[in-house]
Amino acid sequence: MFARSSRRAGLALAVTAFAVLTLGACGTVKATAGAEQVGRAEAVESRPPAPSLAEIQEYIEQSCPPPGTPPIAPPTPPPAPPGEEPPADAVVPVAPTAGPEVELDARDWCAGSHHEQRVAEALLDLADPTPVKVRAILHDLGYADGRIHGLKQSGATTRFFLDLREKGGRLCLEGSAAGEETVVDKCVAAASGPFTPGDRKR
């Protein structure tokens, strides 16, 4: 969302510069191109800096439940009123029995949501998301090589995993960097031992 608003700001600056420069009739194309570049640069510089990994971790410490807090139970539909039967064609949601919803404790679920958002936002505007570029962005976000696994490109998409286990948790992220189609989801890693992407549970 933020990236799109910055594009609109850059476009508005470029259009304004174009309208002023066309009055000069001479050197219009070169001057307009220069103005557009300045407009884009100013729009990028106006973005607030992304929170550092240390800031995110400090926020998680303050706002998320302590480690070991039981998972948050998925919502259940309300029962039918007394004397009434539920419709015969009613779809009854099935509570998950495996996966992040039930295998991550409440702290990991909370922390994972914060990591998901910052990683996805950093990758949305990445053109040609190669493994080298994706690794560089993850480094810029503060994730060391020891936490980055399974970088692999398939067509225009680069897939990756982040090992975010700490304090006995099992949190990991599974991502696919594909520009505006980027997706980052929580996953469940083994409780101990080296991180192996093939062993994680979605």
Domain parsing of the chain, residue ranges: 2-45, 53-64+97-199
Per-residue pLDDT at 169: 93
Q: Are 171 and 147 in contact (CB under 8 A)?
A: no
**Looking at the predicted structure, is the pLDDT value of residue 133 above 90?**
yes
The DSSP annotation for 46-74 comes to TSPPPPPHHHHHHHHHHHSPPTTPPPPPP
Q: What is the C-alpha separation between 4 and 7, in angstroms, rounded?
A: 5
Confidence of residue 188 (pLDDT cuts 50, 70, 90): very high
pLDDT > 60? residue 37: no
Q: What is the mean pLDDT of residues 161-185?
A: 95
Long-range contacts (CB closer than 8 Å, 24 or more residues apart) made by 31-36: 36/10
- Residue 77 banded pLDDT, cuts 50, 70, 90: low
Q: Considering the chain, what percentage of its residues have pLDDT values greater than 90?
A: 50
**What pLDDT, on the 0 to 100 scale, is given for residue 14?**
40
Q: Cβ distance 195 to 149 under 8 Å?
A: yes
Q: Check pLDDT > 80 for residue 23.
A: no
Nearest to 162 by CA among 152, 151, 178, 154: 151
Angle at 54 between CA 50 and CA 103, to 5 degrees: 100
Rg (CA), the chain: 23
Mean pLDDT, range 170-195, rounded to an integer: 94
Q: In the structure, what pLDDT confidence band is assigned to residue 149 with cuts at 50, 70 and 90?
A: very high
Helix (H, G, I), strand (E, B) or coil at 75: coil
**What is the predicted pLDDT for the residue at 7?**
36
Supply 53's token pair: 């990994």
pTM of the model: 0.65
Structure tokens at 119: 């990683």
Predicted local distance difference test score (pLDDT) of residue 92: 54
- Of 41, 40, 20, 21, which Cα lies nearest the Cα of 29? 21
Question: What pLDDT is attached to residue 44?
Answer: 41
Res. 109: pLDDT tops 80: yes
Spatial CB neighbours of 87, under 8 Å, sequence gap ≥ 6: none
Greater model confidence, 134 or 25:
134
Name the H helices within 141-196.
none
